[in-house]
């Protein structure tokens, strides 16, 4: 078994012939993930909202001389039509992904609703990834060592699902609704594992969190105190994206990874360090919460999984 304590991206096994879809791959953790996988021979599809930024990311990785096989495809996770179009194009083009890395995220903006009337963090961070995974699941099941890696946050432990106010009309707080979306990621990843196991599927559903990592997440959307705190005051404590991406890379490639588990940094407070298995919040593994969130997610996305509910 690989020693997690000393695990770095250099220890990623050869990925030649494998296809990865990485959401939010043009910057931050997604770009670091793409770069590391490309160095190991993987074909990476950069699923990004801004194709021009995606092309710049491809040029950056290609210039590093990895011989990377990279492709940019547009995906706006907050738009159900964009999610379906992305999945339909992959299918039409005969692309068979082996691993889906649900990485993209939005953090603590002012209250914003999507065109479909959903709170944007819940829509982009959770609902979009729920729908994308469901639409690609049959393709993934035919892959080599297939996995779904959903990136959550240590903040999931502070979250709750606002089932009585999912759009934040009455109770919106930027960080509370960010924490909701990260708890939803954790609940989804764990429940997906249970349902895949019940179905006898070869796909592994794994969770990862990056600790405290310096990315555009802390500065692109937050305002006020949240932006000052995470995007400036505490930033010197953050690790680099290359280090922050290690847990999701480990989850996506290490042989010993088990479905349903969460991997995060091994340092104090899980803020930084090498990847290790860490504990999920109890509410993330609560069957009643999972069943209720799954039902709501299917209702809001229109995507229904051909998987039995876990006993």
Query: What is the maximum span of the chain, computed from C-alpha positions, in angstroms?
Result: 51
Q: Provide φ and ψ at 44, rounded to 5°.
A: -120, 125
Reported as half-sphere exposure (CB side, CA atoms, 13 A), residue 235 has a value of: 13
Long-range contacts of 52-56 (CB under 8 A, 24+ apart): 53/26, 53/27, 54/25, 54/26, 56/26
Q: Is 178 a catalytic residue?
A: yes
Q: Which residues of 21-55 are buried (b: 16+ CB within 10 A; e: fewer)?
A: bbbbbbbbbbbbbbbbbbbbbbbbbbbbbeeebbe
Residue labelled with tokens 């803020």: 271
Active-site annotation holder among 172, 177, 178, 212: 178
Reduced to 3 states (helix: H, G, I; strand: E, B; else coil), residue 221 is coil
Q: Classify burial at 118, counting beta carbons within 10 Å of its beta carbon; exposed 0-12, middle 13-18, buried 19 or more.
A: buried
d(CA 32, CA 248): 10
Would you please indicate which residues are annotated as catalytic (active-site) residues? 178
């Amino acid at each position: 078994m690989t020693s997690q304590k000393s695990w770095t991206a250099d220890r990623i096994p050869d990925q030649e012939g494998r296809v990865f879809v990485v959401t939010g791959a043009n910057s931050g953790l997604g770009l670091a993930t793409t770069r590391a996988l490309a160095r190991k021979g993987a074909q990476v599809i950069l699923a990004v909202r801004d194709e021009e930024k995606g092309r710049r990311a491809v040029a950056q990785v290609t210039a590093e001389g990895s011989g990377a096989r990279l492709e940019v495809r547009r995906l706006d996770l907050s738009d159900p039509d964009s999610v379906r179009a992305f999945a339909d194009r992959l299918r039409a083009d005969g692309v068979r992904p082996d691993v889906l890395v649900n990485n993209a995220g939005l953090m603590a903006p002012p209250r914003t609703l999507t065109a479909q009337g959903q709170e944007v963090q819940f829509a982009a961070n959770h609902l979009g990834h729920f729908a994308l995974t469901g639409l690609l699941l049959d393709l993934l099941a035919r892959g080599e060592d297939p996995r779904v890696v959903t990136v959550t946050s240590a903040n999931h432990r502070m979250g709750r699902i606002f089932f009585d106010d999912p759009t934040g009309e009455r109770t919106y707080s930027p960080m509370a609704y960010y924490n909701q979306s990260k708890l939803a990621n954790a609940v989804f990843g764990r429940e997906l594992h249970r349902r895949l196991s019940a179905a006898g599927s070869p796909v592994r559903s794994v969770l990862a969190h990056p600790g405290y990592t310096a990315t555009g997440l802390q500065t692109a959307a937050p305002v006020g105190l949240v932006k000052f705190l995470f995007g400036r005051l505490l930033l010197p404590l953050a690790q680099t994206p290359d280090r922050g991406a290690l847990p999701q890379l480990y989850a996506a490639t290490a042989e010993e990874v088990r479905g349903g588990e969460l991997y995060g940094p091994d340092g104090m407070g899980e803020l930084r360090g090498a990847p290790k298995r860490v504990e999920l919040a109890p509410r993330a593994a609560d069957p009643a919460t999972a069943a209720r969130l799954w039902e709501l997610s299917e209702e809001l996305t229109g995507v229904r999984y051909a998987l039995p509910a876990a006993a």
